Structure 1
């Protein structure tokens, strides 16, 4: 394909729109060298870390090839990345709130969270999280000397507005005029919950009342499944002093090609301008190329992926009911992550870790499934309070791999409870 052909393909958004999850064989996947496929032995089916078993979206691959063919591998420049996100947000969420002058390139979402929290909190200050929540929140923030305070999700795995307000109130009484922040995950990792406009508005109202600065990790925003709707945090009333962190990483499987954007509400623009210049240089130029292409031209591929994930979400429910009848399955509204309640297996209690290697820390049911079923899932305890006895399963794979994995898990669970 010539550079002109590549530009034409990207401009029209054409390309293979078959289910990307069915494009690669197990043999092809086993040749991959990324963390998902190299952490465990070859007989293990890896459904743990947040990588999808898909090829690159054609518009993204074309953009990368064109850059490499031109030797265009220098430093990122310009505002096209932010402009591409603005266009995507307008098309997909009917949101016109991406202000280019309040957007900054950052290395990735998690490093962006650390850098933004450095702007609005000091060492030792509290940062509220809604547990169970993405395990690196604990590791990165603890290593950066912030104090994590949990405001757990409700029993329905949704934000508990009353619990958040009480946490904010208590922290304000304790800290006086000190700085307080809240790191929000939406769509929520690991539960797949997509927070509603009303839930987010309640968070914003409480945050304004008690002087809490909200940072919203919205990395899974492109992956909202049928039946749910994504609400950008910066679109809700009261979010004017908040931040959003967005990236094409999860929607188009670009974790190894790093780039992201930090977006500031109008009252937070001055804080964003204080971010050190070197932070903006941390993103990969090819990452910016790939993410920009995804936002500009990746809609059709994303739609095909979402249809495949929706089908897998339904298949997983059927497989759990058949092979793991004692296991609770919370049908996710977004992401490609399923939260399975395995407490009925009666395994020993688990203790969490704050080490950066936490993603590979196994206990309880996850250890059982790895050792007895040769299926790798993420251990629930690493996600904080409410996680013990659960596992997180990545269903962004082929139907055949998903079916084989859950069947194996069912056999292991049956042997354990016999």
Structure 2
């Protein structure tokens, strides 16, 4: 079947259309701020998803979810995109979203106080959800190029198991915020470490459909030695469906009995319309996704060019997947202390992110909330119109230049005098 031409979804909506949205990305900040922070994309809803939702609403099909069409749609997508031919569709469980699913799986295989290992810096909700579930975060570092430090991970597994009879590892695959897409070779080492030390792996694969040209995604459950692991995913990030709740928990062959113990009431959380939307995305949204991936690849290149031109002091880890980029801003000298918004309440903005919001009117995520190694960094969401991305980085560059002049008044005076003399 010939592919249907789909325009670049990132170039469809105007700023005025985006400003009319009521979701978090465009409403959390004043109208003069360009929002490149939370993981929402500036795209229209893919037509197959919109049609599926319209059919449901028009027919009043707004009751409780039923059946496993969602799992079978993902199975087809996984076979086509990742070569995962034995996807266990009949053994999956629908959960409200990936993070809630992770918490429920943690409750199945760990007890309060048990260690849960993460690769820092990493997606901030890993910290919040795990600690709220009364488990203990243990960090294992990334390498300087944003990948899993496999040797350190093995040491962390050993130390975690020495402190507890149970331990779990949250694998972010691909990694958020660095955009690293873990290779089969890397994941084989992860699985070997997990087997050796008796650590249960839970893979967050919500960004799995967002693999950019040059990289290949490996589902963790296809890796030898992953039999007692779990994976969680959804269409949320790739098709911009955060407001339509539904995700899937997938067990390895030796974890089926564990997942079967998940409380029945957990399946009451997903939205029926969410299940319909995610099913349509995986089953019929491939052409739209391909157009998006091409646009993201172009924006990834554009971002690198803009940073080289306007913020050459900033380090840029070119992401292999996701639509998020991790920028090293330590050379800018904005590592101000993390301020408190109230007694014991840490601000989610500090250092360069606070500076860019205050002086460039660009919202990005502050690196310090991603854990150890995040201070002095920012995460930027490049899933937006290229013109907005260009304007945002241009604003950031101008703000840094102005700040350099403010910090060096003598130099500013000299520059002004030279200019007048010319």
TM band (smaller chain): over 0.9
CA distance in 2 between partners of 1:360 and 1:171 (Å): 30
Compute the displacement of 1:174 (Å).
2.5
Q: TM-score, normalised by structure 1?
A: 0.94
**Aligned pair partner of 2:69 in 76, 80, 91:** 80
- In the TM superposition, 1:1-400 aligns within 5 A as 17-175=6-164, 178-351=165-338, 361-400=348-387
| RMSD (Å) for aligned C-alpha atoms | 1.7
Compute the displacement of 1:102 (Å).
1.8
Larger Rg: 2
- SS of aligned partner of 1:266: coil
User: CA deviation digits over 1:194-225, x for unaligned, max 9?
Assistant: 11111111011000111000000000000000
Compute the displacement of 1:160 (Å).
1.0
CA distance in 2 between partners of 1:141 and 1:172 (Å): 17
Judge conservation of contact 1:349–1:388 (CA < 8 Å) in 2.
Answer: no
Compute the displacement of 1:336 (Å).
0.2
User: CA deviation digits over 1:48-105, x for unaligned, max 9?
Assistant: 0000000000000000000001100111111100000000000001111321222000
CA distance in 2 between partners of 1:15 and 1:341 (Å): 39
- SS of aligned partner of 2:31: coil
Q: TM-score, normalised by structure 2?
A: 0.93
Compute the displacement of 1:351 (Å).
4.8
Give runs of ≥4 in structure 1 deviating > 4 Å.
12-16, 349-353
Judge conservation of contact 2:365–2:379 (CA < 8 Å) in 1.
Answer: yes
Q: 1:317 to 1:51 in 2, by over 3 A?
A: same
CA distance in 2 between partners of 1:185 and 1:133 (Å): 8
Aligned pair 1:411/2:398, yes or no?
Answer: yes
Judge conservation of contact 1:350–1:381 (CA < 8 Å) in 2.
Answer: no
- SS of aligned partner of 1:156: coil
- SS of aligned partner of 1:250: helix
Compute the displacement of 1:348 (Å).
2.8
How many residue pairs get aligned? The number is 403
CA distance in 2 between partners of 1:165 and 1:309 (Å): 34
CA distance in 2 between partners of 1:261 and 1:16 (Å): 30
Q: 1:25 to 1:16 in 2, by over 3 A?
A: farther
CA distance in 2 between partners of 1:68 and 1:204 (Å): 44
Compute the displacement of 1:359 (Å).
11
Name stretches of at least 5 consecutive residues in structure 1 with no aligned partner.
Answer: 1-11
User: CA deviation digits over 1:368-408, x for unaligned, max 9?
Assistant: 00000000000000000110000000000001000000000
Compute the displacement of 1:172 (Å).
1.8
CA distance in 2 between partners of 1:360 and 1:201 (Å): 38
